[in-house]
Amino acid sequence: MKQTKQTIRKTLIITLILVLLASSLTPVSYAKEKGNNNSKKGSIVAKKISKSVVQFEEHIPLPNPLPNYPDVFYSVNVYAVNTKKGIVLIDSGHEDLVESLYDEIQTEFNGKPIIAVLLTHAHTDHAGGGNFFQEMEIPVFISQADMYFVSIGMNLPGVNPLFTYTGYDVLNTYENGPVKIPPGFKAVNTPGHTQSSVIIKYSRNNVWFTGDLTLPYADEDVHPLDVTYEVTLGAISALAGTPSMLEDQKTSLEGLLKTVSRKITIYPGHHGPYVGKNEAKDIINYTIDTINSLLS
């Protein structure tokens, strides 16, 4: 499943066409798979992936730059962990889908309260919905260094408007509180994808929620219009302009590689999961190989 430099460059070109040209087009609806939301904003598919974890896979439409073709989409995962005290969310999903996400969670867990939202990093598909939960007085957490990027909603020079959101001030950080994250969860600093990305380790099930630290395989895309791999590869390829960030991501991955255990499960931000020591090592090594190709 390793990608050659030629494949990476070809995919990056496709990504740039889909992403850079998309800002001049108007999003329209695309065919929904399974879920209760078929609006132009996308759809959500709930998947129970373990006894205590439900994956809410959001399908986010992107306008297709090719005329007379349907929109493409990419997927992102929000995870809901059922604990004794309540539901802990890993990431908050896209701003446009957050109300539907909340309704899905309420239905799935029969109204059990959400007690915390743990963000892995500041990008729109992971942190965009956080303010919705914060306004409900649910504690939302992020790393100290990523707070600024959430406050401006990733509205930075060169960032396509499709990947920005309404900024908000996160009230809690992993480093300084003031509220502590729920017991059993630990935020581990893994810089690279953003200045201060974290993974969330859940000790009860020996689970790592890795956000965008790892890159999904191309063959995990579920539909011809699914461009999740291209979008995530495009995001990591964009860091080639700042090689130090790619080096940081590689170092973070190499550090995790040393601690992979036999019963580990990795739940990433896109596609997955990867169950057991072999699958975990494979996805980490695959991402390292991709970074090495981009750095060479």
**pLDDT tens column, 215-227:** 999 999 989 999 9
Q: What is the pLDDT of residues 160-217, one digit of tens each?
A: 999 999 999 999 999 998 999 999 999 999 999 998 999 999 988 799 999 999 999 9
- pLDDT at position 29 is 30
Q: What is the pTM of this model?
A: 0.88
Task: Tell me what pLDDT residue 42 has.
Answer: 93
Distance CA 177, CA 109 (A): 27
Which DSSP helix (H) or strand (E) runs through 114? Answer: strand 114-118
Q: Specify the pLDDT at position 24.
A: 30
Amino acid at 10: K
Query: What does DSSP assign to residue 239?
Result: G
Per-residue exposure over 211-225, b if at least 16 CB sit within 10 Å of its own CB, e if not: bbbbbbbbeebeeeb
What pLDDT is stored for residue 32 in this prediction? 30
* Residue 124 backbone phi and psi in degrees, to 5: -60, -40
Q: What pLDDT, on a 0 to 100 scale, did the predictor assign at position 195?
A: 87
In CATH, the architecture of 5-295 is 4-Layer Sandwich (3.60)
Q: Is the pLDDT of residue 34 over 50?
A: no
Q: How many CB atoms lie within 10 A of CB 167?
A: 17
DSSP result, 141-199: EE-GGGHHHHHTTT--TT--GGG--------EETTTBSSPPPTTEEEEE--SSSTT-EE
Q: How much is the pLDDT for 98?
A: 98
Q: How confident is the prediction for the chain on average, in pLDDT?
A: 88
Say if CB 97 and CB 76 are below 8 A apart: no
How confident is the model at residue 22, as a pLDDT? 38
The reported pLDDT for the residue numbered 69 is 83
Q: Collapse the DSSP code of 112 into the 3-class scheme (helix H, G, I; strand E, B; otherwise coil) and give the result.
A: coil
Contact assessment for residue 21 and residue 65, using Cβ atoms and an 8 Å cutoff? yes
Q: How far apart are CA 95 and CA 88, in angstroms?
A: 18
pLDDT in tens, 112-162: 999 999 999 999 999 999 999 999 999 999 999 999 999 999 999 989 999
Kindly list the domain boundaries of the chain, sorted by start residue: 5-295
Q: What confidence score (pLDDT) does residue 144 get?
A: 94
More confident residue, 24 or 178: 178
Per-residue model confidence (pLDDT) at position 25: 30
CA gap 217, 295 in Å, rounded: 19
Model pLDDT for residues 54-85, shown as the tens digit of each residue: 999 999 999 877 788 888 999 999 999 999 99
The per-residue pLDDT for range 244-291, each reduced to its tens digit, is 999 999 999 999 999 998 899 999 999 999 999 999 999 999 999 999
Q: Which residues contact 110 (CB under 8 A, 6 or more apart)?
A: none
> What is the pLDDT at residue 205?
79
The pLDDT of residue 12 is: 43
What is the percent of the chain where pLDDT is above 90? 77
